[in-house]
Amino acid sequence: MRDMQEKWGRSAAGAPRAPAREGSPSRRDGVSRVERVSALRPRAGLGLYVHIPFCASRCPYCDFATAPARTALRSRYLDALDIEIRREGSRLGKPRVSTLFFGGGTPSLLEPIEIARLGAALQDAFDLRPSEASVEANPATLDRARLEAWAALGITRLSLGAQSFSPVGLRALGRTHQPADIAPAVAAARSVGFDVNLDLIFGWPGQTAAAWREDLEAAAALGPDHLSCYPLELALEPEEAVANWPGAGWRSVERWRRRSAAAQPDDDGIATLYELAEAFLGRQGFRHYEIANWARPGKRCRHNLGYWRNGDWLGVGAGAHSHLVGIRSRNVGVLPAYIAAIDRDDERIVDATADPAVDGAMLALRLDEGLDLVRYSSRFGLDAASRVRNALRSLDRTRLLRWSGERVCLTARGRLLASEVFVRLLPDDVNFSASV
């Protein structure tokens, strides 16, 4: 599945930190960098996200930090990634990694020797004992040597970017694989013992309910352990990673996105497709455990559960986000800038606007288990819990929420209109009225 660091609700980045080099700590408010990093050491295991930006071609809807697989910067990027992995592992005291996720980009494009090098760096830098280790892949990018290399690293789960089983849908999304590539990729993953997630996108230009039902039926027929279903979202502001791709750049992408947005189903149409997925996958025995994710019993994505439960995770690589002891930060997404930042040992870009209490409430409500206000109060305090309770109680007559004592969950209608709930949790200075 798409790694949830960057999907459905990204944090805005704050101003860049001043450069500092290891061994020559900068001072800020009398606190050295070494002391600050020590304070960020997680108390228990952490999730580790590794970003591999390389893609065979650019999907025009994608706003992740990606770059051409044949970029001249590939070897320098992998060198920088190796340095960052080892440096962060050392600074954090070689913490235990409880879950591992390789996202992109297309990690499955790495060569076996590159995969082995990554594995060696991770083993040296961390206490690598993940209960789950995922890698993202695109159909038609897998072969036996690569799969065996990932298995040797410890991968247990493959997340396949199927997106659609319709040739029309794949063309509408600008994808380069064919529907016939998907089933062999699933079979190949199964052959080395991997669990399988399938990513699907709905709401592409011209998609009908019948076409979406066919996608769901085709996906279910392959017997995946997990399904992620995302509406097509088309950002109309340029992301920084546009600079990684030669050619027409942002203007070309913007034109494609504007044309595609004009041809998408309207809001009612998107709602119909979402409800169709809920009903169909429920009948197939999948648990709808998060707004955009369904799983067989025991097959929820543990790594992404760490995000939604507001746990600690470290992200390494271009554009990767981290959350350590309540502080959110990210790396720059442009490859030359990322490589230079690692060479200089720059600090990550800290999100100065992040509100841990608000983030914690919103993330918990994404899950079917909902928000436990007793536990929330013990973590964020009585005042924060009271503010959240009052904000959510203001929605009592909207049928968006279901209460059971001090636990509150989104209803089926609430999942569909989650933004109407989340806006009530924002601080007063950024809140606005929502019509429900």
Q: pTM value?
A: 0.90
Alpha-carbon span 344 to 84, nearest angstrom: 11
Alpha-carbon span 262 to 374, nearest angstrom: 45
Mean pLDDT of 119-136: 98
| DSSP for residue 126 | S
List strands edge to edge, sheet with 349-350. Answer: 287-290, 293-295, 226-231, 195-202, 157-163, 127-137, 96-104, 46-52, 313-316, 321-324, 327-330, 349-350
Kind and range of the H or E run holding 161: strand 157-163
Radius of gyration over every alpha carbon of the chain, rounded to an integer in angstroms = 21
Q: Decide if pLDDT at 20 tops 90.
A: no
**389 and 377 Cβ atoms separated by less than 8 Å:** no
Helix 182-191 and helix 144-153: axis angle, to 10°? 50
**99 and 84 Cβ atoms separated by less than 8 Å:** no
Model pLDDT, residue 394: 97
Q: Decide if pLDDT at 428 tops 90.
A: no
Provide the CA 368 distance to its chain's centre, in angstroms.
Answer: 18
Mean pLDDT of 18-44: 42
**Given the DSSP bridges, would you call strands 31-32 and 46-52 parallel, antiparallel or unpaired?**
unpaired
State the burial class of residue 119 (Cβ atoms within 10 Å of its Cβ: 0-12, 13-18, 19+): middle
With bands split at pLDDT 50, 70 and 90, how would you rate the model's confidence at 427? confident
| 430 vs 176: which has the higher pLDDT | 176
Model pLDDT, residue 249: 82
Residue pLDDT, tens place only, 247-272: 768 899 999 999 999 999 999 999 99
DSSP string, 304-327: HHHHHTT--EEEESTT-EEEETTE
Model pLDDT, residue 11: 29
Model pLDDT, residue 389: 98
User: Backbone phi, then psi, for 315, in 5-degree steps?
Assistant: -110, 130
Give the residues across from 195 on adjacent strands.
157
Model pLDDT, residue 43: 62
How much is the mean pLDDT over the chain? 90
Model pLDDT, residue 8: 34
